[in-house]
Structures are given as structure tokens and as C-alpha cells.
Amino acid sequence: MHVTHLCRQEFSCYSSVTMFDILVYLYETYYRPDACPEPEALARKLSAVGFDDIEISEALDWLNGLREMAGTTNPALESSGTRFYIAQEVDTLGSAAVGFIQFLELAGLLSASQREIVIERALALDESPVTLGKLKIIVLMLLWSQGKEPDALMFDDLFGSDEEDAAPRLLH
């Protein structure tokens, strides 16, 4: 299944558009993150495909931050407690993104540590509010960076309706 449609719909910031285009391209082109060439070679390949050097640099920096976060584990995060969001997080993420993150966690599709990585990488975008489409790509890239495939339920949620005003998902 191609995820390119996620990347072309709801982006308003030019540099973010291209960064997310690059992330989707990497997901579709390289089955696993260890199949990616080294950063310098990858930058050359992305440039040859037609991506701009500035956007390539932004995407590789963002991925490096993801790799660093995904490589660390904090046992304190693996609790069954409730995550409370501070006002800045709610303002930046937006209610749709917070609700989607909560849905994925309550459904058992994201762990508490994965949730924190998704939140940190979304806050790193310096964009407010983060669209649901971008958040879905962040979740997808986190799983990809950890060598995990989304299960059928998550795949449906990630690639289903991207409408911000769609009815909220319910757990049964």
C-alpha cells in the first residue's frame, strides 16, 4: 500500500511538505531503516530524485532525532498511568492529534515510550497545530525506525480517513 496520498493533502508549510515527502519516500523505498544508505549517500540519492538540499537536510536531521529518541528507553515511561498534556503540548499538537495518540495507546498499538517519542517528534516540527496526516506519518516513521510493521488495525487508522473533522475513533 502506498502512503504518498498522506503527504500531499494537508500541508501548508513548504519546508514541512518536502520533509514529509522525503519521509514517505524513504518509507516506500526502503523496507527497513537498515536498508537505507549512510546519510551522505542517502542525501545524494534524495538529491538525484529531485529533493532540495535544504529539505533533505531537514528530513535527515529530523530522522536523526527520531533515531536518538527511539534508541533510548526509559523504564519509568512503561506505566499504566494516565498521561497529562501541558498546555503548550495541547496547543501545538491540537486536540485531534492528542485524541489520536490516546486512541493508539489505549488500543495497545503504541507503548508509553513510543507515545513520548511521537509527541517529541511532533513538537520538533515547530508547527501548530500538527495535522493528523503529519502525525500519522510520524507514527509510521517511528515504527519503521524500530523495524516494526503496523498491524492491520493500526494500518487502517494510519491510512484511513485523513479528515480532521471525521468522527472520532471509538474503542469497543
Which structural domain, as residue segments, surrounds residue 55? Answer: 12-72+82-159
In a domain, 170, yes or no: no
Q: Provide the pLDDT for residue 109.
A: 86
Number of folded domains that form the chain:
1
In a domain, 168, yes or no: no
Residue 24 CA to residue 19 CA, distance in Å, equals 9
Residue 56 CA to residue 67 CA, distance in Å, equals 16
Q: Average pLDDT, stretch 138-147?
A: 90
Per-residue pLDDT band at 102 (split at 50, 70, 90): very high
In a domain, 171, yes or no: no
Task: Give the distance from CA 138 to its chain's centroid.
Answer: 0
In a domain, 138, yes or no: yes
In a domain, 77, yes or no: no
Per-residue pLDDT band at 67 (split at 50, 70, 90): confident
Per-residue pLDDT tens for 2-40? 444 444 333 333 345 578 899 989 988 987 888 888 989
In a domain, 60, yes or no: yes
Backbone region of residue 150 per phi and psi (left: phi > 0; alpha: psi in -120 to 50; beta: other values): beta
